[in-house]
Amino acid sequence: MTDKVQRSEEEWARCLSPDRFRICRQKGTEPPFTGEYVNNKADGAYECAGCEQVLFDSAHKYDSNSGWPSFWKLATADAIDEIVDRSHGTQRTEVTCSDCGCHLGHVFKDGPQPTGLRYCINSLSLSFRPRSSKR
């Protein structure tokens, strides 16, 4: 298990762009079909923009036609935390990075098999590392 990333909101504001801060720390949402990774089909790993924890593998990404990058499986079972979200007059399940708490998006139970899940994630919450890249 890795150590949790702990920063004040002021520290987050200094290390994230204003748009990333709004999404990752203030639970914002980017407009549909505008994110950098919506149509990305490259082979690699999607990491948390806040702490670089690997969250998703490109092998589990699919086109959900929702306007946001969508995945049917996590890279590891403990990559995210789930939080009940009752905003906007509905109940959804918010997903956050388990290492740093950055808001990623939501998970829905309308995805493809074998999981039936759709992790609907903001591109600004992610960074992409091609499989051929070394850290």
Just list the catalytic residues: 120
Residue 92 has which token pair?
A: 């959804």
Give one DSSP letter per residue of 7-48, joined into a string.
--HHHHHHHS-HHHHHHHTT---PPTT-STTTT---SEEEEE
The CA-atom distances, in angstroms, between 126 and each of 20, 62, 78 are: 9, 16, 17
Cβ within 8 Å of residue 90, ≥6 positions away: none
